[in-house]
Chains A and B, each alone.
Chain A
Amino acid sequence: MGRQKDIKSPKLLINREASWLEFNNRVLQEGFRDNLPLAERLKFLSIVSSNLDEYFMIRVAGLMQQHMDDPRTLDPSGMTARAQLDMINKRVHKMVAEQTAGIKDVFGQLARNGFHVLSRADWNNEQTAFLRQHFNNEILPVLTPVAIEGLNPAPVLPGLQLFVAFSVSMGKARTKIVAVPVPGFFQRFVNIPTEGDTFVTPVEEVIAANAQTLFRDGRIVSAAYFRITRDADVSIQEDEAADLLSTIARAVRERRRRSAVRLEISAGAEPRMKRWLTKFLQLGAPDVYEVDGLLGASSIMQLVDLLPSEELKSPDWPEQPARDLSDSDDIWTTIKEKDVLLFHPYETFEPVMKLVDEAANDPNVLAIKQTLYRTSGKSPLVQSLAAAARNGKEVTVLVELKARFDESRNVNWALELEDAGCHVIYGIARLKTHAKAMLIIRREQGRIKRYAHLSTGNYNDRTAKLYSDIGLMTCNPDITADVAAFFNLLTGQSETVGWKQLTIAPTNLRQRFLDLIEREIQASTPGDRGLIMAKLNALQDPAICRALYRASQAGVRVKLNIRGICVLRPGIKKISDNIEVRSILDRYLEHSRIYYFRNGGHEEIYLSSADWMRRNLDRRLEILFPVLDGRAKARVRNMLETFFDDNVQSWQLLPDGTYKRISPRGRKIHAQEKFYQDAVNAASAARHIKTRFRPLSRPGK
């Protein structure tokens, strides 16, 4: 069986890091598009940096660790950790240079539109004087210089913090390096009040220009900016952790002192300073990134709000009322009549919060159960759940403390909920709870009715405005029974008892996907070919890739729309010639996961919290749920087609692992804009229906 052997070759898998770098490159390329409003370009250029920050903290840190522990291990594509690190370094150096050029280009165009981002050299006398004043009044009082050279023990320089470093000559003694952290609570850009045009300048330049007052006994010889990225891949040894809450708090504190993985430093920094910092942080030369522009460029996002003219921004797309709901109707009745599909952020996230809030105050509601993962700061959801508990309902909340970078914030809500009387579960040992599920148990005329909300996105009202996700409210008894069983599993109250409609990771989600793909292979004939369509954030699981190769070999058409990493190589003869991979990058982050199987005409559509990644399938609690309601199913099917029809914001993956922008031939189809327009049309149609005249009967009758 030569075929079987073929699809197992590591050459058939794209390296995951290479694929991620491709993804970030696509984000970067959006920053260069002339036909995008400047504000949109700024956002993309900013995201390039925030992506890289997280990437270095987790992936690069992990690879460095692996290189130390286990230098010979090969990844599924056949590369060692060292080889991958080298590839990343090379690629990121180039990427950063490009990004810097992109930012300069956008700044230049902004200047032509009356918005000037000045650097120190651009300041005129008046501006210099204003900024000195500003420095003395606002900045100086909160600056804390740290002498970092020659101190024992060496001070800890926290990660992701922007520093201004000075080489200071102290009389006859040698020069010393002193670092001044730029306080995080400052806006990154200082506004210089002027009539007419807008002028802003980076705060670190204001510090650098005026810092001499900090060193009464010394003289500044040179200044530079730098920024450290540290390993943040904290893995908590849960079995040893008697108290998970305090362990997490400690782990978050310790993250500050974890080893450095990257140093960014401004171009033209004094070589001695650069050498010293590199050595101090125990980094190699390739880990040092010289930036001929802004460091920590993710903060250029702040400029978007400062732009004076709406013309520089994309037209606002206000969120619309959900088409499956209307204000006047009782939400319980609506859900009983039909499944409610919510497509965020085109449709508002409000109904989800309202559902929990109504449940909290509804005397008929007996219990609410919910998972919380990355919930926003003062989330109304948390408030509603606490209120529900105070109102005497049984409230069970799973707060996932292990949601990366959110640990410390999560600890706070958890305590708040516990105080209110909620039964709080702090995640599941060794598994991250990524599934998004909510269950409401209600007694209606003596009869128990259950309502479930399942979603591809987190219960976070803030990200629900930026991430594109699909949620489903249903009272289908098979689904609600499964959701109840899911919570029993989470709370340890029961083992798995057999699922009616849901599939759960890590129990058997991978197997389920493999079975669904296999079924498609079996059902496919030359006259009636099978079809798999999937929209997801990442495809990295080798077993799924191989199953898809087999499907392609069997003549099944496979259409994938994957925003981020995809390690599958499409379009390889006799292996994957029936597979097509697209990627959409647009103003909303594509976050929904939709899985479609033609199933010989009996189409099945599923939504999920899980991507096709090993971590989703093996180390997380995830849910795959079917869309059963005919209308909802047809709607999701349409969405899927629109994603694949898009020719404005889509890219195509080529067999060599690179991506090519899809260029519109004929009519332009812009998926996100179409979804927005559809939502607007549906909402105005609903408004139209509502203005009906109701004749009154004769008074007194």
Chain B
Amino acid sequence: MSPVKKANQQTPGIRTLGAIDIGSNSIRMAIAQAMPDGRIEILERLQRGVRLGQDTFRTGRIRGTTMRATVLILRDFMNVLKLYNADVVKVVATSAAREAVNSDAFLDRILMATGLEVDIISSSDESRLTVAAVRQEVGRKQLAKQSSVIVEVGGGNTEINILRKGQIAASRNLAIGSIRLQELLSTSTQSADRASDMIRQQVAGIISSMKGLLRLGQVRSFYAVGGDARWAAEQVGKRTKISNLRSVSRRDLDKLVSKCRHYTADKLSRIYGLPFSEAETLIPALLVYQVLLKSTGAREIIVSNVSMRDGLLLDLAQQAVGSVEESAYEDIIRSATSIAEKYGVDLKHAIHTRQTSVRLFDELAAEHSLDKRYRLLLEVAALLHEVGSFVSGRAYHKHSFYLITNSEISGLTQDELQLVAHIARYHRRSRPKPAHIEYMALPRERRLTINKLAALLRVADALDASRTQHVRNISCRINDEYLQIITPTTADISLEERMLAMLGDLFEDIYGLQVRLERD
């Protein structure tokens, strides 16, 4: 028999994606295929317990044995991915890795042993991804009907997202997590009843301190994601009109909790066939849901089967298909604009610069060959390039750099935010130099991208040097030597011309073209 070649034909549009999430209790993976219409079909879900949270939340660092276990699991997962010839694989880690003092060593270890690059994502990213996944499952319209909250009690943290009219109105990440609470339980000598009262009180205390902020009382729909909530729904849940959602009434949740809270983790795992690691944190998690539910106006918990990983898959699918979902795009721009506002930048200038840089980005697509995602990052950088002047007018580009680095723009990853900060930093004065430590710490490819984008931003900024927004409706002509920017304006543009002569330097080096501003 002659060996048959493995199929590898690809049809444009359909992509196989893998999303791995290194959480505090377990590592999970979802494999899916993204259809050209953006639909996602889940192929497999995998899960293996590894207790990063126990390490981080108890001792602050991830132990060697836990790292080894993580690597072994990731290798197994990669074998499953291999079956499907996955096109894109994204690995993210959440609070347990984020908060560990040795998180860099942990990520290096994974990279060395598996070749997988892990992104540590911020809690705001977690929120955004979870909300996106729930929004997809519940439906935009349904979610916009009434004020809702989306809650995930994780091992380390509890994510609370308040939605009004379907948009995120407030997000809070509370340091109450089932593993942290379970730690508390296991060290206390109290009876099960006293211990659960203790947890209730602690959770209630934290929540009441931010009542004004979250206005939980107005919430009418309570959505829960996560394994513990799913377990509760399997036990006492009722089907809802939306096929994958189940609801658990206050009463049923109370009954379930009072039935189970006397069980030891061992017994829970035996009776319900749960992995021990899950059984251990089940009761603390349910107690948190119980307290939260009571402080809202909702009568039941609606349990969704989706998770942050599904949000991640949506992201990957959108990237793979090459489009940013409209509302996610708007969320990012809105969020960047409100940060710019907060720091009192000249918004007219910022918005104009954004428009000009986008124009340049599109005109020069063939030269820089960067994808749409970078167009968005350039827009954000243009909106934020002057935020540093809030601190001081002197060398404000440097202040912009750290202010952006420390901002949270939900929808952007930590890496992307860094990129934005660098682009903004180099919009004036010095070009990137080997003496700039943060810049040199980046891989070569990243540095090149920064140069490409910062060059555009410098030109765009120069084109509004007078802050009058006179240079508008530009068109471009490119030949072997020049980039001609043509504007129909009749106003005085001498300042712009002079600034362009100064700031066009980087552009000339990177794109090999001199920039000329001409009237139509």
A contact residues vs B (CB 8 Å cutoff): 361-367, 387, 390-394, 441, 443, 445-448, 450, 477, 481, 484-485, 488, 491-498, 507-508
CA A488 to CA B31, docked complex, whole Å:
13
Q: How far apart sit A171 and B10, CA to CA, in the bound complex (Å)?
A: 88
Are B1 and A488 in contact (CB-based, < 8 A)?
A: no
Contacts of B80 in A (CB 8 A): 488, 493-494
Docked-complex contact B77 and A493, CB < 8 angstroms: yes
Contact assessment for B5 and A507 in the assembled complex, using a CB-CB cutoff below 8 Å: no
Residue contact A447 to B44, C-beta cutoff 8 Å: no
Say yes or no: A485 contacts B44, CB within 8 Å: yes
B9 partner residues in chain A, CB cutoff 8 A: 443, 446
Q: Is the CB of A363 within 8 A of B1?
A: no
Among candidates A366, A446, A493, A508, residue contacting B79 with C-beta atoms closer than 8 Å: A493
CB pair A495 B49 closer than 8 Å: yes
Say whether A481 contacts B1, CB under 8 Å: no
B95 within 8 A of A: no
Known A390-B3, A441-B83, A446-B11; further 13 A-B contacts with Cβ < 8 A: A363-B5, A363-B6, A364-B7, A392-B3, A392-B5, A394-B83, A445-B11, A447-B33, A485-B45, A485-B46, A488-B80, A495-B47, A498-B234
Report whether A494 and B83 are in contact in the complex, using a CB–CB cutoff of 8 Å.
Answer: no
Which chain B residues lie closer than 8 Å to A445 at the CB level?
11, 14
Find A497's partner among B10, B12, B47 (CB 8 Å cutoff). B47
Q: Which of B4, B44, B230 contacts A488 (CB 8 A)?
A: B44
B178 interface hit (Cβ, 8 Å): no
Could you tell me if B43 and A481 are in contact, using CB atoms closer than 8 angstroms? yes
Q: Which residues of A contact B393 (CB under 8 A)?
A: none
Residues from chain B with Cβ under 8 Å of A493 in the complex: 46, 48, 76-77, 79-80
Partner of B41, one of A362, A393, A477: A477
Q: Is B275 an interface residue (CB 8 A)?
A: yes
B275 x A495 contact (CB < 8 A) = yes
Closest B residue to A369 by CB, please name it. Answer: B83
**Is B59 at the interface (CB under 8 A from chain A)?**
no
Q: Which residue of B lies closest to A491 (CB)?
A: B76
Q: How would you classify the secondary structure of chain B's contact residues: helix, strand, loop or mixed?
A: mixed
B38 surroundings in chain A (CB, below 8 A): none
Query: Once the chains bind, are B83 and A488 in contact (CB under 8 Å)?
Result: no
Asked if B6 and A393 sit within 8 Å, CB to CB, the answer is yes
Chain B, 13-32, contact with A by CB distance < 8 Å: what is the 0/1 string? 11010000000001010000
Contact between chains at B273 and A507 (CB < 8 Å): yes
Q: Looking across the interface, which residue of chain A has its beta carbon closest to that of B274? A: A496
- List of B residues within 8 angstroms of A494 by Cβ: 45-48, 80
Output the least CB separation between B51 and chain A (Å): 13
Chain B residues within an 8 Å CB radius of A361? 1, 4
Nearest CB of B to A46, in Å = 41
User: Least Cβ distance of B122 to chain A in Å?
Assistant: 26
Most buried by A among B3, B41, B44, B46: B44
Instruction: State whether A392 and B79 are in contact (beta carbons under 8 Å apart), knowing that A447-B33, A494-B48 are contacts in the complex.
Output: no
**Which residues of chain B in 70-95 are interfacial with respect to chain A, using CB atoms and an 8 Å cutoff?**
76-77, 79-80, 82-85
In the docked arrangement, what's the CA distance between A497 and B83, Å?
A: 19
Contact assessment for B6 and A366 in the assembled complex, using a CB-CB cutoff below 8 Å: yes
**With A392-B6, A496-B273 in contact, is A484–B43 under 8 Å at CB?**
yes
Question: How far is A488 from B45 in the complex, measured between Cα atoms in Å?
Answer: 9
Q: Which residues of B contact A (CB under 8 A)?
A: 1, 3-7, 9-14, 16, 26, 28, 33, 35, 41-49, 76-77, 79-80, 82-85, 230, 234, 272-273, 275, 305
Sort A-B residue pairs by CB-CB distance and give the 5 closest, nearest first: A446-B11, A494-B46, A446-B14, A391-B4, A367-B83
Q: Smallest distance from the beta carbon of A177 to chain B beta carbons, Å?
A: 55
**Shortest Cβ distance from A430 into chain B, in angstroms?**
15
Q: Is the CB of B43 within 8 A of A443?
A: no
Most buried by A among B9, B82, B230, B272: B9
Are the C-beta atoms of A394 and B82 separated by less than 8 Å?
yes
**A residues less than 8 Å from B12 (CB atoms):** 446
Among A366, A481, A485, A495, the residue within 8 A (CB) of B84 is A366
Q: Would you call A446 and B3 a contact (CB within 8 A)?
A: no
| Closest A residue by C-beta to B45 | A497
B467 → chain A closest CB, angstroms: 51
Taking CB atoms, residues of chain A closer than 8 Å to B44 are 481, 484-485, 488
Q: In the docked arrangement, what's the CA distance between A363 and B7, Å? A: 5
Q: Is B3 a contact partner of A391 (Cβ separation < 8 A)?
A: yes
A450 CA / B46 CA spacing, docked (Å)? 17
B2 shortest CB reach to chain A, Å: 9
Query: Smallest CB-CB separation from B15: which chain A residue?
Result: A446
- Closest chain-A Cβ to B405's Cβ sits at a distance in Å of 37
- 10 contacts across the A-B interface (CB closer than 8 A): A363-B4, A367-B83, A387-B1, A392-B4, A448-B84, A481-B44, A493-B77, A494-B45, A496-B273, A508-B273
B26 closest partner in A (C-beta): A495
Return A494 CB to nearest CB of chain B, in Å: 4
A366 & B85 in contact (Cβ 8 Å cutoff): yes
Are B48 and A495 in contact (CB-based, < 8 A)? Answer: yes
CA distance A443 to B35 in the complex (A): 14
B48 partner residues in chain A, CB cutoff 8 A:
493-495
Establish whether residues B7 and A365, one from each chain, have CB atoms under 8 Å apart when the complex forms. yes
> What is the minimal beta-carbon distance from A610 to any residue of chain B, in angstroms?
16
Q: How far is the CB of B72 from chain A (nearest CB, A)?
A: 10
Q: Are A497 and B46 in contact (CB under 8 A)?
A: yes
Closest to A504 in B: B273
B269 smallest CB distance to A (angstroms): 11
CA A610 to CA B179, docked complex, whole Å = 38
Given known pairs A392-B5, A485-B44, A497-B46, the reply for A492 and B76 (CB within 8 Å) is yes
CA distance A177 to B516 in the complex (A): 117
Alpha-carbon gap, A444 to B285, bound state (A)? 43
Q: Kindly list chain B residues whose C-beta atoms are within 8 Å of the C-beta of A448.
A: 16, 33, 43, 84
B26 contacts which chain A residues (CB < 8 A)?
495
Which of chain B's residues have a CB closer than 8 A to the CB of A477?
A: 41
CA distance A367 to B85 in the complex (A): 11
Q: How far is the CA of A624 from the CA of B394 in the complex (A)?
A: 72
Chain B residues closer than 8 Å to A498, beta-carbon distance: 45, 230, 234, 305
The closest CB in chain B to the CB of A392 belongs to B6
A446:B10 contact, CB within 8 angstroms: yes
B52, chain A: closest CB distance, angstroms: 16
Chain A residues near B33 (CB-CB < 8 A): 447-448
